């Protein structure tokens, strides 16, 4: 995102807070008792700062800290909270659900309901029952992967039906665990709620195993996903290393960003090429990927390649057809690359043994690793505190290690990317020793004056 944009990070609230929080905390520093968080606690979004710069910190540069408020909006006994999880699986969803239920129960809230199978669970045609969520119900769900409530894609555009259902259920709080589309749906729901003059808080917990929510430094489940992907890459490496000219090709998640791919390469230490959406590359030609792969094989007799699912899509959609409805269908870059690599070496009559692995379902359905489990617990707590305070149309995030409130409309307007010129990608190139750019017609003064080359 551009550095100069002025985002409005103000958080909307349902009304003035007149209820004293039943969770007793302290306002005194030094008494060893945890403190309430006040509305004037902020975190600077971008801590990278030029020295000596004279500055008035503007509201558009800071975000509000999450946490329990002393005065809250809802009277706990009147609360009926709903939780819905949408879209694909991601490690940690159950941890988030559990944390919300438990934190609300500390306020004295006893009515929490789970919506089955995403937004579809609100639609009358699906006839799904609401699932009551007590402390006992959620006690052990964090030990399982997947989502306890079920999930589904779509349904979020049926805003009127959804708000009808919410009204019918007398819900005054909706927690949405989901990605971009889910949070977009959440905002539409909130707007419909507002139109009807209802007082219902909507709080989003951002879920994307790709880790590319804007402003948010890390999405839950990401550590677990990388750890699982590393296991797969280890397998691919073993296969590659045990065959004549073995090639291990692994497709990892990342529709628009290469975070999983880059982190997996850094963690596994065994990857030779990482192909991500943010960094363009040619397949053919003297500086193309195939050439460099061939070179690697001739030197080391095996190679491991990670490709993010969004890589190469720009090029591929030119080659493939649109579907009946006129939509461009995303190409499976994994099998595409598998076939192209195979053909390249077959044409050259070079014996290779390519093993292709697509581990997506194994990665996303795993139970959360401890670091994600902690993160999910804390996200869920922050979401419950926010809703109790009557804050709405917001998403919980982590910014500079602080849990914060971010307006939903701002977060969904952008997406985060691996910066090809930044430290993460620099370290990834170091780890893989792959060429900086595998493009044939690349022109750069910098490169030529520096005799640019990464030594193998």
Among positions 5-24, residues that touch its own copies (CB under 8 A) are 24
102 binds its own copies (CB under 8 A): yes
Q: Provide, rounded to whole angstroms, the least separation between the CB of residue 37 and its own copies.
A: 8
Asked if 250 and 305 count as a contact pair (C-beta separation under 8 A), the reply is: yes
Neighbours of 380 (CB within 10 A): 27
Q: Least distance in Å: CB of 7 to its own copies?
A: 15
Which residues in the 254-273 window bind its own copies by CB under 8 A? 263-264, 266-269
Residues 105-124 that bind its own copies (CB under 8 A): 105-106, 108, 117, 120
Residues 283, 288, 291, 297: is their CA dihedral positive or negative?
negative
Task: Please identify, among the stretches 48-56, 184-192, 200-208, 251-259, the one whose residues bind its own copies according to the rule CB under 8 A.
Answer: 48-56
Does 292 help bind its own copies (rule: CB under 8 A)?
no
Shortest distance in whole angstroms from residue 33 CB to its own copies = 6
The binding track of 161-190 with respect to its own copies, each residue x by CB under 8 A or -, is ------------------------------
Q: Does 2 bind its own copies (CB under 8 A)?
A: no
210 noted as active-site residue: yes
Q: CB of residue 94 vs its own copies: minimum separation in angstroms?
A: 10
Kindly state the smallest distance separating residue 199's Cβ from its own copies, in Å.
26
Among 95, 180, 188, 210, the active-site one is 210
Q: Is 104 an interacting residue with respect to its own copies (CB under 8 A)?
A: no
Task: Name the minimum Å distance from CB 392 to its own copies.
Answer: 21
Place of tokens 């529709």: 255
**Least Å distance between CB 38 and its own copies?**
11
* Helix extents (H) in 119-276: 135-138, 159-168, 180-195, 222-241, 259-268
SS3 201: strand
> How far from each other are the two terminal CA atoms of the chain, in whole angstroms?
34
Of 144 and 330, CB closest to its own copies: 144
Residue 59 lies near its own copies (rule: CB under 8 A): yes
Residue 72 sits in the site that holds its own copies (CB under 8 A): no
Binder to its own copies among 82, 92, 145, 178 (CB under 8 A)? Answer: 145
- CB burial string 381-402: b at 16+ within 10 A, e below: bbbbbbbbbbbbbbbbbbbeeb
Q: Does 47 bind its own copies (CB under 8 A)?
A: yes
Q: Could you tell me the smallest distance in angstroms from the CB atom of residue 191 to its own copies? A: 27
What minimum distance in Å lies between the beta carbon of 51 and its own copies? 6
- 92: its two tokens: 């940690």
Contacts of 337 (CB under 8 A, 6+ apart): 249, 251, 275, 305, 307, 312
* Interaction between residue 131 and its own copies (CB under 8 A): no
The β-bridge partners of 38 are: none
Binding span for its own copies by CB under 8 A among 159-167, 207-215, 407-415, 429-437: 429-437
Could you give the CA distance from residue 184 to residue 88 in angstroms, rounded to a whole number?
Answer: 16
Q: Is 212 in the site for its own copies (CB under 8 A)?
A: no
In contact, 211 and 218? CB cutoff 8 Å: yes
- The residue (of 193 and 216) whose beta carbon lies closer to its own copies is 216
Between 3 and 197, name the residue whose CB sits nearer to its own copies: 3
The secondary structure element, H or E, covering residue 402 is strand 402-407
From residue 313, how far is each of 276, 278, 280, 331, 449 by CA, in Å?
10, 11, 10, 7, 32
Residue with tokens 């305070």: 389
Nearer to its own copies, 35 or 191 (CB): 35
* 143: contact with its own copies by CB under 8 A: yes
Q: Which stretch binds its own copies (CB under 8 A): 185-193, 204-212, 282-290, 417-425?
A: 417-425
Binding mask 317-356 for its own copies (x = CB under 8 A): --------------------------------------x-
Q: Which is nearer to its own copies, 187 or 246 (CB)?
A: 246
Binding mask 366-395 for its own copies (x = CB under 8 A): x--xxx-xx--xx--x--------------
Contacts of 20-27 with C-beta under 8 Å, sequence gap 24+, read 20/70, 20/71, 20/72, 21/68, 21/69, 21/70, 21/71, 21/72, 21/107, 21/388, 22/76, 22/107, 22/108, 23/68, 23/106, 23/107, 25/68, 25/70, 27/70
Q: By the 8 A CB rule, do 149 and 131 touch?
A: yes
What separation in angstroms does the CA of 281 have from each of 207, 263, 278, 332, 456?
29, 19, 10, 17, 19
> Taking the CB of residue 361, how many other CB atoms lie within 10 A of it?
10
- Of the pair 193, 268, the CB lying nearest its own copies is at 268
Rule CB under 8 A: say whether 226 interacts with its own copies: yes
Catalytic residues: 210
């Amino acid at each position: 995102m551009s550095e100069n944009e002025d985002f409005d990070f103000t958080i909307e609230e349902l009304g003035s807070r007149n209820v004293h929080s039943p969770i007793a905390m302290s306002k005194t520093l030094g008494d060893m008792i945890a403190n309430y968080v006040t509305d004037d606690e902020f975190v600077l979004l971008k801590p990278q700062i030029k020295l000596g710069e004279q500055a008035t910190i503007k509201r558009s540069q800071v975000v509000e800290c999450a946490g329990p408020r002393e005065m809250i909006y809802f009277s706990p006994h009147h609360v009926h909270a709903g939780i819905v999880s949408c879209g694909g699986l991601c490690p940690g969803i159950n941890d988030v659900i559990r944390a919300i239920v438990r934190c609300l129960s500390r306020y004295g809230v006893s009515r929490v309901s789970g919506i089955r199978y995403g937004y579809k669970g609100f639609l009358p045609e699906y006839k799904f029952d609401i699932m009551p969520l007590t402390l006992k119900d959620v006690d052990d769900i964090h030990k399982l992967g997947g989502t306890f409530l079920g999930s589904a894609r779509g349904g979020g555009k049926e805003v009127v039906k959804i708000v009808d259902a919410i009204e019918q259920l007398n819900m005054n709080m909706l927690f949405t665990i989901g990605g971009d589309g889910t949070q977009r749906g959440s905002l539409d729901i909130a707007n419909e709620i507002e139109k009807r003059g209802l007082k219902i808080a909507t709080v989003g917990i951002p879920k994307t195993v790709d880790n590319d929510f804007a402003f948010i430094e890390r999405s839950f489940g990401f550590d677990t996903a990388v750890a699982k992907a590393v296991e797969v890459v280890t397998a691919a490496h073993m296969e590659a290393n045990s065959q004549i000219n073995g090639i291990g090709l692994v497709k990892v998640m990342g529709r628009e960003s290469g975070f999983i791919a880059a982190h997996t390469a850094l963690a596994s230490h065994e990857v030779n090429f990482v192909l991500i959406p943010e960094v363009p590359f040619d397949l053919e030609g003297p500086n193309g990927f195939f050439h460099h792969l061939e070179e690697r094989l001739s030197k080391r007799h095996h190679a491991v390649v990670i490709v993010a699912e969004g890589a190469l899509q720009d090029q591929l959609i030119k080659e493939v057809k649109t579907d009946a409805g006129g939509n461009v269908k995303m190409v499976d870059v994994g099998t595409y690359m598998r076939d192209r690599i195979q053909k390249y070496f077959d044409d050259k009559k070079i014996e290779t043994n390519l093993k292709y692995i697509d581990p997506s379902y194994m990665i996303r359905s795993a139970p959360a690793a401890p670091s994600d489990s902690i993160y999910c617990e804390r996200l869920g707590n922050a979401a419950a505190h926010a809703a109790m305070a009557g804050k709405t149309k917001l998403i919980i995030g982590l910014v500079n290690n602080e849990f914060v409130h971010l307006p939903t409309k701002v977060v969904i307007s952008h997406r985060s990317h691996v910066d090809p010129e930044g430290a993460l990608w620099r370290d990834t190139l170091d780890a893989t020793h792959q060429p900086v750019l595998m493009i044939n017609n690349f022109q750069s003064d910098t490169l030529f004056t520096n005799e640019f080359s990464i030594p193998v």
